[in-house]
A = this chain, B = another copy of it.
């Protein structure tokens, strides 16, 4: 049983975080598996849409901090960075189904999805600054573009937790469903997308993204270098010590 489950059905590749005992915290191995799933999906003509989800009460707690400290990303070729890159310029629609905690990369990932559906229990947080780190996954660029500078500052600078209604009102997500319905609703939307004329879908996604793509990839590099530098800071060490002694 892998900690990244995949299942192809009717043109929709379901990719699921599956490490419930650790709130779906993402390890280096899971990033490898995720990157592999997206790299394969890119060239597999049977796959028209990717649906990414966690569990009913947890999307993902973000990076697994313990694993992260043991296997820090060393450069642009780390598994986490390869995952970011393959998702950022993925040519087919990505649909997300989110409930429960969506922390750190659990939220920044959504900026690269095309449709995002959540349950009422979804909780989003971008605690990079609180940990002595800086934004990643081009969120410093894409979040202000998506929700405006004031809301982006509120989420990225203060690291506050926010709920599904705030996320929808700001334009981060498309729709909030009852907890029992968010996954089936997202699956339904993914299946409908998979039935539409595929070339029109892919051209349209490319047109919508192209203005921002080269800058997105460039910012990801810049954020990545700053992120790795901040991993060596006293601020990060203190935050980790506080976290591990909880």
Contact = CB atoms under 8 A, between A and B. Distances in A.
Indicate how many identical chains form the complex. Answer: 3
The CB with the most chain B CB atoms within 10 A, among A141, A200, A209, is that of A200
Interface stretch (A16-24, A176-184, A190-198): A190-198
Interface centre among A151, A197, A235 (most CB of B within 10 A): A197
A51 to B, nearest CB: 14
A8 interface: no
B144 A208 contact: yes
Given A133-B200, A197-B132, A114 B150 contact: yes
18 contacts: A111-B149, A113-B150, A114-B149, A114-B157, A115-B154, A116-B150, A130-B196, A134-B207, A135-B208, A141-B207, A142-B149, A143-B208, A151-B171, A157-B201, A158-B189, A170-B171, A211-B215, A211-B219
Interface of A: 93, 111, 113-116, 128-135, 140-154, 156-159, 170-174, 189, 192-193, 196-197, 199-201, 203-205, 207-209, 211, 215, 219, 222-223, 226, 230, 233, 235, 239
